[in-house]
Amino acid sequence: MPKTYPLEIESAGEDTYILMSRGHHDPHEFMRQARADGYEWPLGMPKHYWTKRIPASKDSGYSCYYVMVEKGTRGAFPTTYAHEAYGEERYEALCAQAHPDHKDGGAVYG
């Protein structure tokens, strides 16, 4: 049975806005939680990846790095990421294009 992960949003970016959670979560649920957690950044549609956590060097100022890898890579776990996006690439704009009859485009509501 595959491991399940709770939807826990964390900031994973430094110079750009990036949010992530372990596990492959529904994109709309991910964005609902991100907005509920107070992240109002301009973000694109959340996507699923396989990720591996690797240790950072002691002088880097970080405890680890997350790198995208192929499914099946030793130590890989599923993740959902939303990266910084603007204009027509923003989550809300993409939802509005997909659902033009909804006043809010279905954004954050699925």
Residue 105 inside a domain? The answer is no
Residue 88 inside a domain? The answer is yes
The parent domain of residue 74 ranges over 10-98
**Whole-number Å distance between alpha carbons of 14 and 22:** 18
In the structure, what pLDDT confidence band is assigned to residue 3 with cuts at 50, 70 and 90? confident
Q: What is the pLDDT of residues 81-107, one digit of tens each?
A: 999 999 999 999 998 888 777 665 556
Question: Contact 67/74 with Cβ under 8 angstroms?
Answer: no
User: Tell me, what's the pLDDT at 98?
Assistant: 85
Structure tokens at 24: 């492959």
Q: What is the pLDDT of residues 30-74, one digit of tens each?
A: 999 999 999 999 999 999 999 999 999 999 888 899 999 999 999
Number of domains present in the structure of the chain: 1
Structure tokens at 16: 């750009």
Residue 106 inside a domain? The answer is no
pTM for the full model? 0.87
